[in-house]
């Protein structure tokens, strides 16, 4: 009898694994097949949709798409609402109501509600749960429910290169300049100047960049080191796989190299016949600048290519 129970238990576990695999495989297939692109628009007929733009499946509420124009290489996450007009079936005229520039990214579960014109500039990134609307409820009449009163609308403009953090809200009439950062959960109204960071509800400027003085107040963290030109995917993968101890060794080597550089330069200025034994020993200990067994990372420092997986 225990043997039969074990057999039934194994069969049940096998069925569950197979069912689990089938569900995940089917869902991945639906995500691929249900994505909206210029080549596979499905039921949606946007006023324009650029090449390489993709709306992930499942989409959120989308209507008035004839007055929605999406630029090139946009990424629209799952369950994102894009609407033009207060309700489906309205004739909104000849001009677009919602315009996304090239390279715009809108995170999942976000809403862009365009009852009045909304423009989002090129390369603007929105985190998940962002809410952008050109219409808001009014409460002028104290004797009527707020939801039954005629709403107020005003155009919204978001400049190029902005970043809207998770849960940010942009209200009617807002105008954001270039490269504006909106903190998570901030509620933005009114005008925001270029190169500003805003936070809070209502949002206010907490940091701004000026050509004469730079960021004020100054940034508290150093700027990230960009990926060097010419780095291959294999080298980047090797760097990602380095352990903490290996990274510590690399940093120590960088410090040592920085300390040795002045002495090496001094030794290079001395004629070979005049160089002392210490300088000769120092010169012999330095690796050749063009050594292919090492790769440059950042503006300074060398990483052993073998540790980076390139040898």
- Catalytic amino acids? 137
| Cα gap 311→216, rounded to integer Å | 45
Phi/psi for 250 (5° steps) reads: -65, -45
For 39, the token pair is 């080549």
Taking residue 163's Cβ as centre, other Cβ atoms within 10 Å add up to: 17
Radius of gyration for the alpha carbons in the chain, expressed in angstroms and rounded: 29
- Distances in Å between the alpha carbon of 297 and those of 21, 227, 245, 256? 41, 8, 17, 16
């Amino acid at each position: 009898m225990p043997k039969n129970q074990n057999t039934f238990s194994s069969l049940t576990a096998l069925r569950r694994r197979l069912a689990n695999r089938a569900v995940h495989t089917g869902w991945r297939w639906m995500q691929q097949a249900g994505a909206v692109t210029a080549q596979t628009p499905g039921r949606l007929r946007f006023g324009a949709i650029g090449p390489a733009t993709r709306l992930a499946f499942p989409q959120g509420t989308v209507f008035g798409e004839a007055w929605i124009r999406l630029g090139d290489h946009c990424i629209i996450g799952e369950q994102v609402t894009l609407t033009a007009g207060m309700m489906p079936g309205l004739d909104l005229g000849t001009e677009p109501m919602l315009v996304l520039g090239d390279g715009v990214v809108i995170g999942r579960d976000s809403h862009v509600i365009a009852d009045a014109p909304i423009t989002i500039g090129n390369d603007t990134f929105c985190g998940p749960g962002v809410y952008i609307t050109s219409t808001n409820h009014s409460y002028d009449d104290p004797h009527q429910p707020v939801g039954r009163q005629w709403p107020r609308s005003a155009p919204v403009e978001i400049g190029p290169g902005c970043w809207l953090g998770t849960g940010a809200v942009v209200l009617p009439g807002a105008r954001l300049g270039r490269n504006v950062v909106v903190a998570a959960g901030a509620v933005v109204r009114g005008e925001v100047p270029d190169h500003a960071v805003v936070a809070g509800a209502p949002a206010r400027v907490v940091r701004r960049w000026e050509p004469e003085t730079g960021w004020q107040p100054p940034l508290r963290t150093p700027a990230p080191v960009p990926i060097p030109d010419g780095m291959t995917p294999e080298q980047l993968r090797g760097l990602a796989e380095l352990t903490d101890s290996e990274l510590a060794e690399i940093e120590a080597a960088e410090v040592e190299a920085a300390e040795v550089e002045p002495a090496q330069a001094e030794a290079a200025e001395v004629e070979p016949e005049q160089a002392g034994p210490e300088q000769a020993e120092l010169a012999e200990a330095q690796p050749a600048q063009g050594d292919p067994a090492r790769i440059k990372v950042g503006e300074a420092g060398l990483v052993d290519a073998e540790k980076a997986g390139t040898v």
